[in-house]
């Protein structure tokens, strides 16, 4: 995820790993005194410090034509809900490298599933990560869609 954070930084954002930046739990609301901590692998913050995307790496295979395991979808939906985001990104270590979207029924959230080919030479892998991050940014221009805000 460090390489992904570097690709985000080249686009004017900040990629934050758990425990290394703003406390994502401060975005959560709860009826209890201490909301459960959320710790996605990487949260993308814009130049104003607002979370704009959440990214979680999965070191497993996503099967071509499949949407990804339910547990992965639930996890990303929880991250998006806590951060007030309309989208999340799952990056799998192996599988169909064609990205696909999964609309979460009953929520205004879309989970995008991506796969990287970790068997490629390092330079190609780094380039594919950069392309993936650019794809995330380009889909929304300079603004990402945040719940309660228009894009």
Q: Is residue 144 part of a domain?
A: no
Residue 23 CB neighbours (<10 A): 12
Q: Is residue 131 part of a domain?
A: yes
Q: Is residue 151 part of a domain?
A: no
Averaged in consecutive runs of 10 residues, what is the pLDDT profile of the chain (151 residues)?
76 72 50 66 88 89 68 92 91 77 89 88 91 81 46 36
Q: Provide the whole-model pTM.
A: 0.73
Task: Give the pLDDT confidence score for residue 35 in this predicted structure.
Answer: 60
Q: Is residue 150 part of a domain?
A: no
Task: Give the pLDDT confidence score for residue 145 in this predicted structure.
Answer: 43
Domain count, the chain: 1
Please write the tens of the pLDDT for every residue from 116-125: 888 889 999 9
CA dist 16 and 36 (Å) reads 18
Task: Give the pLDDT confidence score for residue 147 in this predicted structure.
Answer: 44
Task: Give the pLDDT confidence score for residue 97 in this predicted structure.
Answer: 65
Exposure class string for 66-80: b at 16+ Cβ within 10 A, else e: ebbeeebbebbbbbb
CA dist 98 and 147 (Å) reads 27
Task: Give the pLDDT confidence score for residue 110 in this predicted structure.
Answer: 92
Q: Is residue 146 part of a domain?
A: no
Tell me the residue range of the domain where 85 lies.
Answer: 2-139
CB 100 within 8 A of CB 113: yes
Q: Is residue 94 part of a domain?
A: yes
Task: Give the pLDDT confidence score for residue 7 in this predicted structure.
Answer: 80
Task: Give the pLDDT confidence score for residue 78 in this predicted structure.
Answer: 93
């Amino acid at each position: 995820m460090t390489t992904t954070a570097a690709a985000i930084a080249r686009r004017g954002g900040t990629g934050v790993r758990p425990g290394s930046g703003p406390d994502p739990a401060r975005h959560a609301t709860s009826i209890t005194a201490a909301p459960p901590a959320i710790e996605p692998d990487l949260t993308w913050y814009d130049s104003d410090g607002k979370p704009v995307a959440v990214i979680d790496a999965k070191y497993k295979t996503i099967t071509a034509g499949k949407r990804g395991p339910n547990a992965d979808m639930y996890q990303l939906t929880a991250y998006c809900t806590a951060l007030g985001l309309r989208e999340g990104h799952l990056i799998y270590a192996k599988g169909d490298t064609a990205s696909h979207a999964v609309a979460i029924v009953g929520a205004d959230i879309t989970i995008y599933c991506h796969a990287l080919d970790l068997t490629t030479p390092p330079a190609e892998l780094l380039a594919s990560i950069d392309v993936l991050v650019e794809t995330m940014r380009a889909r929304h221009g300079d603004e990402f869609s945040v719940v309660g805000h228009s894009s």
